[in-house]
């Protein structure tokens, strides 16, 4: 059993007839947007925000495969536009998955990820176990 599974409690919610994976990890209600459409623009971010609010989530997990490839090319502005929506509406977000190929080709993205991970609003993490570690009480 993974650390994320050990420290979470599943609470499936239903929205528009679909089961939305909501779990509580270390007291934080988390929505994992695994089966949502690919986010290709700001409207995609707003759609995820709506689902997050509807499910009562405090933190949104967006798997990297749910993000258009342009998200990782900072020159397109997509990452800034999408993440700004989450920040403006005070929704904590974790981008979860393997992005080493993107990091290897962009110093700007690498710096952005490092800086984001220092804060509390936007995190780039390898997996849900890293999220569980981030959410675990200090001590």
Residues sharing a CB contact under 8 Å with residue 114, sequence separation 6 or more, in sequence order: none
Tell me how far apart the alpha carbons of residues 23 and 46 are, in angstroms, rounded to a whole number.
21
User: Do 67 and 38 meet the contact criterion of CB atoms below 8 Å apart?
Assistant: yes
pTM of the model: 0.84
Could you read off the pLDDT of 53-68 as tens digits, one per residue? 999 999 999 999 999 9
Q: What is the CATH number of domain 3-8+23-134?
A: 3.30.750
Q: Stretch 123-131: mean pLDDT, rounded?
A: 96
């Amino acid at each position: 059993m993974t650390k994320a599974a050990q420290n979470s409690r599943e609470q499936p919610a239903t929205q528009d007839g679909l089961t939305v994976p909501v779990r509580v990890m270390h007291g934080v209600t988390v929505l994992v947007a695994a089966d949502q459409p690919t986010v290709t623009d700001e409207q995609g971010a707003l759609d995820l925000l709506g689902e997050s609010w509807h499910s009562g989530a405090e933190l949104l997990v967006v798997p990297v495969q749910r993000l258009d490839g342009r998200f990782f090319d900072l020159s397109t502005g997509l990452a800034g536009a999408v993440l700004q929506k989450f920040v403006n509406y005070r929704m904590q977000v974790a981008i979860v998955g393997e992005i080493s190929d993107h990091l290897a080709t962009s110093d700007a993205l690498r710096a952005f990820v490092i800086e984001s991970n220092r804060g509390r609003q936007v995190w780039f993490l390898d997996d849900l176990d890293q999220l569980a570690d981030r959410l675990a009480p200090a001590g």
